[in-house]
Structure 1
Amino acid sequence: MDDALRRLVDRLAELPGVQAVALGGSRASGDARADSDWDLGVYYRGAFDPAGVRALGHPGEVSELGAWGGGVFNGGAWLRVDGVPVDLHWRDLDVVDREIADAEAGRVRIEPLSFHLAGIPGYILLAELAIAEVLIGDLPRPSYPAALRRAAPAVWTNTARLHAAYARSHAAAGRQAQCLATLTVATLQTAHAALAARGEWVTNEKRLLDRAGLRALDGIVDAAEAAPTSLAVTCDRVEDLCAPVWAAADPVRHD
């Protein structure tokens, strides 16, 4: 991290309400390329005004709280700091506390979020903390709760099955785009189930299929044709691909 980014971290930490700043994303996980963005979590408690970030004067876009849908990902900023791309993410520590308690109790909630086809679980906040490098302040460093590992696979599998079943209505009508999109969502949700069963954190969908061993979806989608009979076969193939994960999540089910 160069001097300009260090200065940014220091100035963020001085903003009212900010309790900690952490490095996340690929820079923290070790998967970064030379041109990767720098992802910084700005953890606050109580009142926090993004206008303070805007006043730092870096070019880019700064969102208000709640601008990203009002869920666990409640806003952030895209900045250029001496030409370096930096993403900021607002993180409410009261929400973090709630999500830790929910995860430890095995409660799972999935929210829609732009750019995340499968949706995101509330426990993604724990995943971020687990891999983050805390730069300033103190933050929880959660391990994967046993109750979450037991509960999350079934939650993801149930919604994946629903998507896969509904894809068949698109297939029967020859709606190729909707059929394949719905099957893709189902497979990504199945991948979440597989990694939850292994107690592995997920922070985004970029390598999700690879990590879950479901990358064969690419070939299935590529071979699909618009005719209803072809799309029905595609549905069969996707369900066959996902079936081992579904069975593991619900071993007493035999359909």
Structure 2
Amino acid sequence: MERELARRLVEVPGVVAVALGGSRARGEHAPGSDVDLGLYYRPPLDTATLRRLADEFSDGPAALTEPGGWGPWVDGGGWLRIGGTAVDWIYRDVDRVARSCQDARDGRWDWHFQVGHPLGFPGTTYAGELFHGVLLADPTGELGALRPDGFPPALRAAVVQRLDEAEFLLGGAAKADPRGDRAYVAACVFRVVLLCAHALHAVAGRWVLNEKGAIAATDRLERVPHDFAARAQALFGAEPQPLARARELLAETTALVSEDGPQRQR
């Protein structure tokens, strides 16, 4: 179904290529997982033709947006059900994807606001999506030519460098903690933990595409502080002294991702 749909999608004016993404592309899906199709386009995108195609394939009425309908970085798309399976169409401006891939190669790791991403949306996410995606239709070969062949060394260095920000955040949280500003402390701890997760994944050469599941995914890494995921999750429950525990995680992560860090700490 996916390849036939992709073949039809690239006939829509503006659509350059189609790729399978998400858990199905990574081979981590469950039987009921959504099918995520990235629609890589170059403006103007003919959304009227897309809607007609959606009506042809979908089990019922499908909701499609214009580009930008879901925000500045998730962009837009549509929700369909095809043969009882949820199928998401997700727009990606191919020129922005090209810039994302170049940023990844150059080690530019910037964060952007996007609803649904409380940590923020790294501009290199598009490159990671393309790396993990399965190309279903790429008639001009443009998307395949953009695709990263691994996790760029410059990006690895940039992600690890952001542990300095985590250290700074803990310093600010330590000042707010005696004043009872629990919301600010919790926000700092959240960002510290996710920055550690990003650094650990970067050293392993793996892209983090979403905050959801990022902590649990550390358990599948070869180099990770002892019980990292469990200790990180405990910080957001009834864990006493969360700042002290967060500082321990940061210190162990910093030591591990350095050149002299241990190879394995499970």
TM range (shorter): 0.7 to 0.9
Work out the percentage of aligned pairs sharing the same amino acid.
37
2:90 is matched by which residue type in structure 1?
A: H
**Which one of 218, 234, 238 corresponds to residue 219 of structure 1?**
234
Query: For the residues of structure 1 that align with 2:171 and 2:258, how far apart are their CA atoms?
Result: 17
- Label 1:50 to 1:246 Cα distance change in 2 as closer, same or farther (>3 A): farther
Instruction: Name the counterpart of 2:262.
Output: none
- State the one-letter code of the partner of 2:152: P
Corresponding residue of 1:204: 210
In the superposition, the TM-score normalised over structure 1's length comes to: 0.83
TM-score where L is the length of structure 2? 0.80
Within 2, Cα distance between the matches of 1:43 and 1:203? Answer: 17
Shift of 1:178: 4.2
Residue in 1 that maps onto 2:263: none
Q: CA deviation at 1:7?
A: 4.3
> Does the CA contact (< 8 Å) of 1:154 and 1:249 recur in 2?
no
CA gap of 1:63–1:171, structure 2 versus 1, over 3 A, is farther
**Residue correspondences, number:** 239
Structure 1, unmatched stretches of 5+, are: 225-229
For residues 91-110 of structure 1, what are the structure 2 equivalents within 5 Å? 91-110=92-111
Q: Partner amino acid for 2:12?
A: L
Match of 2:5 in 1: 8
Provide, for residues 56-97 of structure 1, a one-character-per-residue CA deviation record: whole Å limited to 9, x for no partner: 3243432221233323x3222222223211111111111111
Q: What is residue 172 of structure 1 aligned with on the other side? A: 178
RMSD over equivalenced CA pairs, Å: 2.3
1:145 corresponds to: 152
Residue identity matched to 2:214: L
User: 1:101-133 CA distances to partner (integer Å, 9 max, x unpaired)?
Assistant: 222112111122223232221111111111111
**Stretch moving more, 7-16 or 126-135:** 7-16
Superposed CA deviations along residues 138-179 of structure 1, whole A, max 9, x for unmatched, are: 323312212112222213x23333443343354323243443
User: Whole-Å Cα distance in 2 between the matches of residues 75 and 158 of structure 1?
Assistant: 34
Residue aligning to 1:115:
116
TM superposition shift of 1:189: 1.8
Gaps of 5+ in 2: 219-223, 260-266
Contact 1:20 1:43 in 2 (8 A): yes
Q: Does 1:191 align with 2:197?
A: yes
Contact kept, 8 Å, 1:153 with 1:249, in 2: the verdict is yes
Q: Amino acid of the residue matched to residue 12 of structure 1? A: L
Quickly say closer, same or farther: Cα 1:247–1:18, change in 2 above 3 A: same
Q: What secondary structure sits across from 1:9 in the alignment?
A: helix
Which residue does 2:35 correspond to in 1?
Answer: 38
Which residue of 2 is the match for residue 227 of structure 1?
none
* Corresponding position: 1:154 with 2:161: yes
